[in-house]
Amino acid sequence: MRLDDLAIDNCLKCTLCNAVCPVLAVHTQYPGPKRLGPELERLRREGISTDTEWVEYCLGCHRCDLACPHQVNVSEMIARAKAEHRKPLVRGLRDWWFARPGLLGRLTTILPALSNFALSIKPARFLMSKLMQITPQRKFPSYTRPNLRSPAIAEKESQRVIFFPGCFIRYNRPDLGRVVIELLERNGLTAEVASTECCGVPAMANGNAAEARAVARANVKALAQQVDSGLRIVTACSSCGHMLKTGFGGALVDEEEFAGAAQKIAGRTYDLAELLVEQLDAGKLNINFQLTDLRLAYHAPCHQRSQGIGRPWYHLLRLIPGVTVEDMDAGCCGMSGTYGFKQEKYQVSMEIGKELFASIDAVQPQMVATECATCQMQIEHGTTFKAIHPAEILLQAYGEQKTGR
């Protein structure tokens, strides 16, 4: 019996998962999580072909998993079907690249100025839309040389932690990585930057199970010893956090050599805000924040919600005197990493984001805080408001340092 045979039988067809699915809410033809997950999974396990393009439309937001009262791992079933799905050649090639942000980062940062120029000019974006079906409506984030380094020697009383930066911080925003390191330092924690690969979320999301396994194995090799020595891992990207906390999305579940270590890593991984709240509870958080006149809207990314850690950033931001924060609680932004860059999914992505955009518009904040880089992109694309990582706001509230950008 496979590990989750029981999960299929647990499905009572209550349709609660359908009720929370952001794609189904805007796309009436989408079969929904109940159909694409447990219903078709039964047939797939009987060897009956159920290959359907619709699995490509799943955002991997995990809202169906959270809603299911019977712990059916709905989105994992859909992810497996996605990995089996045969795509047309052009989409397959595009998704091969989208599954490898680490490789893309290494190549684009050989000559970042040239790469940024090439990715920004209209003829190149037109060509990418024609040749790779990447929507010309979106801008690519800028790439910069990967220059994030571990800080010098830790103070004696400081606790060491391993910082898993992920591809976005490593190749696009190393300045945000330095904000993370400084925030930790100011609160009694010294970060050592991990020499790790991509977390594997983009590989899973683009149906590339082999690549997800490869990066998961490399990451386990890079982190296992440090975790065994008692160190904790900290992430500042909700998707990286989700992936590490789920034992690399279960990618290694049937690999004896790696599965145990992946589970240990899962148990020792923390979101940056989780660690800071822990310091707060222990009376060790530096709360000497300056009076900051700022009205914020906060958006909790789906992969933050899926970690089941409450809203630690919302809690931390409200410690800053003068800051008001409204929790948007308005569903998925619709971006889901590379999903919103895909030409055929652009409209769906924007439709999904509409509720969030309207909620932000209604609040008229000075800024939006959200810890996911692609949620930030989507919010800036769908509204007129700037969106930044809450760590930047928190560090700025200490006074001397400006936000990284």
Q: Interface residues with ligand SF4 (CB under 6 A)? A: 11-17, 20-23, 33-34, 37-38, 58-64, 67-68, 70, 72, 74-75, 78
Q: Please, which residues have CB within 8 angstroms of residue 85's CB and are 6 or more apart in sequence?
A: 51, 52, 53, 55, 56, 207
CB of 112 to ligand SF4, least distance (A): 33
Choose between 76 and 392: whose C-beta lies nearer to ligand SF4. 76
Backbone angles phi, psi at 189, to 5 degrees: -130, 130
Complex with ligand SF4: residue 39 or 278, whichever CB lies closer: 39
Work out how close the CB of 142 gets to ligand SF4 at its nearest, in angstroms, rounded to a whole number: 29
Cβ closer to ligand SF4: 4 or 211? 4
Q: What angle do CA 256, 231, 286 make, to 5 degrees?
A: 145
- Taking the complex as a whole, how short is the minimal distance between the CB of residue 349 and ligand SF4, in angstroms? 11
> Smaller CB distance to ligand SF4: residue 228 or 329?
329
Q: Which helix (H) or strand (E) element contains residue 162?
A: strand 159-164
Supply the minimum distance, in Å, between the C-beta of residue 55 and ligand SF4: 9
Task: Give how far Cα 18 sits from Cα of 15, 68, 302, 305, Å.
Answer: 5, 10, 16, 18
118-127: list long-range contacts, CB under 8 Å, 24+ apart.
119/143
Q: Work out how close the CB of 79 gets to ligand SF4 at its nearest, in angstroms, rounded to a whole number.
A: 8
Smaller CB distance to ligand SF4: residue 34 or 170? 34
Pick the closer one to ligand SF4 by CB: 28 or 288. 28
Phi, psi angle pair for 326, to nearest 5°: -110, 125
- CA 248/CA 239 separation, integer angstroms: 11
Name the token pair of 25: 């809410």
Q: Is 195 exposed, middle or buried (0-12, 13-18, 19+ CB in 10 A)?
A: exposed
Alpha helices in 29-151 (DSSP H): 33-34, 40-45, 63-67, 74-84, 89-98, 101-108, 112-120, 122-132
CB of 368 to ligand SF4, least distance (A): 22
Min dist CB 23 to ligand SF4, Å, is: 5
Taking the least distance from each CB to ligand SF4, the nearer of 59 and 148 is 59
